[in-house]
Amino acid sequence: MMHDPTGRLLLTPVDKEAPARVRRLRELDIGTRPEPALDAFAGRLAELTGAPYAMVNFIDEERQFFAGLHTVDGGTGGTGSSVGRYMARDHGYCPHVVVRRKALVLEDVRDFPRFAGNPVVDEIGIRSYLGAPLVDRTGMALGTVCVVDVEPRRWGREGLTTIKTMAAELVGQIHRREDGGI
């Protein structure tokens, strides 16, 4: 991981798997366009967690793409939504989840100096994050499922269990699709 020379912020982690991830996402034909099924999945995730925003996020070398998106107004990032489908790779917390291959729970991002300086805090107003990696059968972390809120939130063990379960469910769907079952 790269660190800010001041020692305060954890910068976007080095992602040596990005080129291989891009190839795997192309193989699976996901992560390049919005998918109604993934929008529905994000909507279900938002409902289960009570979060205003939920995403199915695939990460390449340059940016993040929300192939599944649920916004506070119940939208999917289309016209009229302030949340778009793309985000710079150095914004947000999903790149950390992908590189770590572990779920990340931030009940109040301001409590963590290394995460509090992330651009999404000031630019979008994100205050809490809960995300889990989508690790497929090849061992590749393809992206994440995550929820965020503009208020601090106690996700608790239940939230962590939910996000991990939903990540596993989506990976199963991806595998079935790859095997020709969907």
pLDDT of residue 6: 42
What residues make up the domain containing 131? 18-176
**Could you tell me if residue 82 is inside a domain?**
yes
pTM above 0.75, yes or no: yes
Taking a C-beta distance cutoff of 8 angstroms, is the pair 160, 129 a contact?
no
| Strand order across the 53-59 sheet | 86-88, 63-70, 53-59, 141-149, 128-135, 104-106
**Could you tell me if residue 148 is inside a domain?**
yes
User: In the predicted model, is pLDDT for residue 11 greater than 70?
Assistant: no
**Could you tell me if residue 140 is inside a domain?**
yes
**Could you tell me if residue 6 is inside a domain?**
no
Looking at the structure of the chain, the number of domains it has is: 1
Q: What is the 3-state secondary structure (H, E, C) of 13-54?
A: CCCCCHHHHHHHHHHHCCCCCCCHHHHHHHHHHHHHHCCCEE
Cross-strand partners of 143: 58, 134
